[in-house]
Amino acid sequence: MGGHLKGRAAIVTGSGQGIGRAIAKALAAEGAGVVTNNRAPVSGHNAPNQLDAEKLGRMTPEMREWVIKETDTYAGDAETTAAEIRASGGEATACFADITDFRDAERLVGVAVDAYGSVDIVVNVAGAFGFSPFEKISKELWDKVNAVKPTGYFHVLRHAVPHMKKRKWGRIINCTSGAFMGGPIRQAEYSAANAGVLGLTWALACELAEDGITANAFAPGAKTRASVDMEVFDKVVAEDERSTASGIPIVTYDGTDLPETFAPFIAYLASDAAAHVTGSVFATMGGFIARYSNPVFVADMFDKDGWTFEKVAETAPSTLFKDYKNINAGMLKPDER
Are residues 336 and 274 part of one domain?
A: no
Structural domain of 307: 299-337
Output the pLDDT for position 251.
74
| Rounded Cα distance, 37 and 166, in Å | 24
In a domain, 149, yes or no: yes
| Rounded Cα distance, 175 and 251, in Å | 19
Tell which residue, 95, 94, 117, has the closest CA to residue 106: 95
In a domain, 59, yes or no: no
Are residues 264 and 217 part of one domain?
A: yes
Are residues 320 and 194 part of one domain?
A: no
Are residues 325 and 265 part of one domain?
A: no
Are residues 273 and 125 part of one domain?
A: yes
Are residues 321 and 180 part of one domain?
A: no
Output the pLDDT for position 60.
82
| Rounded Cα distance, 126 and 134, in Å | 23
- Collect contacts of 274-278 with beta carbons under 8 A, ≥24 apart: 274/171, 274/214, 275/212, 275/214, 277/214, 277/216, 278/205, 278/209, 278/214, 278/215, 278/216
| Rounded Cα distance, 178 and 221, in Å | 9
> pTM surpassing 0.95?
no
Residues in the chain: 337
Output the pLDDT for position 121.
99
Q: What is the pLDDT along the chain (337 residues), one digit of tens a residue?
A: 689 999 999 999 999 999 999 999 999 999 999 999 999 998 765 555 656 667 667 778 888 777 778 888 788 999 999 999 999 999 999 999 999 999 999 999 999 999 999 999 999 999 998 888 999 999 999 999 999 999 999 999 999 999 999 999 999 999 999 999 988 888 899 999 999 999 999 999 999 999 999 999 999 998 777 777 777 766 666 767 777 777 666 777 777 899 999 999 999 999 999 999 999 999 999 999 999 999 999 999 999 999 999 999 999 999 999 999 887 644 444 444 3
Output the pLDDT for position 41.
94
Are residues 305 and 218 part of one domain?
A: no
Are residues 81 and 29 part of one domain?
A: yes
In a domain, 144, yes or no: yes
Q: In total, how many domains does the chain have?
A: 2
Output the pLDDT for position 337.
38
SS (H, E, C) the chain: CCCCCCCCEEEEECCCCHHHHHHHHHHHHCCCEEEEEECCCCCCCCCCCCCCHHHHHCCCHHHHHHHHHHHHCCCCCHHHHHHHHHHCCCEEEEEECCCCCHHHHHHHHHHHHHHHCCCCEEEECCCCCCCCCHHHCCHHHHHHHHHHHHHHHHHHHHHHHHHHHHHCCEEEEEECCHHHHCCCECCHHHHHHHHHHHHHHHHHHHHCHHHCEEEEEEEEECCCHHHHHHHHHHHCCCHHHCCECCCCCCCCHHHCCCHHHCHHHHHHHCCHHHCCCCCCEEEEECCEEEECCCCCCCCCCCCCCCCCHHHHHHHHHHCCCCCCCCCCHHHCCHHHC
In a domain, 3, yes or no: no
Output the pLDDT for position 336.
41
Are residues 267 and 324 part of one domain?
A: no
In a domain, 153, yes or no: yes
Are residues 195 and 104 part of one domain?
A: yes
The CATH number given to whatever domain includes residue 34 is 3.40.50.720
Are residues 336 and 202 part of one domain?
A: no
| Rounded Cα distance, 54 and 210, in Å | 53
In a domain, 243, yes or no: no
What is the identity of the amino acid at 72? D
| Rounded Cα distance, 52 and 204, in Å | 38
What phi, psi does 289 have (nearest 5°)?
-130, 130
In a domain, 337, yes or no: yes
In a domain, 67, yes or no: no
Are residues 199 and 271 part of one domain?
A: yes
